Amino acid sequence: MNRCLNAFLFLIVGACATKEPARPIGPLPDDASHEGPAAQPTWEVPPLDLPSLTTGRVKRTPGNVTVIMFFATWHDPSKKAFPKLQELVNKYSSRGLELFAISVDEEPTGVAEFAKMYGARFPIAWDDGMRIAKEWRPRMMPTLFVIDRKGKNQGHRGGWHDGEEKDLENQLLPLLAP
């Protein structure tokens, strides 16, 4: 049954991410069918403190601007996003940008290798049992949440397309201003 559910989710997520352009940055609409942080326009982010499969910990630093990305290693748009996100981290980490990626794969096997293959040097965690994803409710893969310096959600991004990093950069710049 679990394999059937995963196959169904793979088809749905793949179809959404490849045919639908990325959603504009902004809060998700208030939607009773999607409870949880993603449905609340400016919710305070619950604390995250997870062991990383790559480097450091997945733990938000107070006062930083944080991008939290939910992804799956089998998903092509996630593969495209990693090198572009690393470029943004390289460019803006000195201004307080941090990025964490959380894998929703069934097993942690291969997640660290995936990160290395696609150039990610930011902390990556595995969401055992999808307990974090159940709380945050990403609607597609990848989904990025943008968190301001005060720890408030400033929007989300679902999917990834060519040029997405520029749109994300434009969202981040005002948040990174001194």
DSSP 99-132: EEEEE--SSSTTHHHHHHHTT--S-EEE-GGGHH
**CATH number of the domain within which 34 lies:** 3.40.30.10
Extended beta strands in 27-64, E state = 49-51, 57-59
Domain range for 107 is 2-176
- The reply to whether the predicted model has a pTM over 0.95 is no
- For the chain (length 178 residues), average pLDDT per consecutive 10? 42 40 38 44 75 90 95 94 97 98 95 95 94 89 95 91 95 95
Q: What is the pLDDT of residue 7?
A: 36
Joined together, the tokens standing for residue 3 give 């394999």
Number of structural domains the chain divides into: 1
Q: What is the pLDDT of residue 46?
A: 77
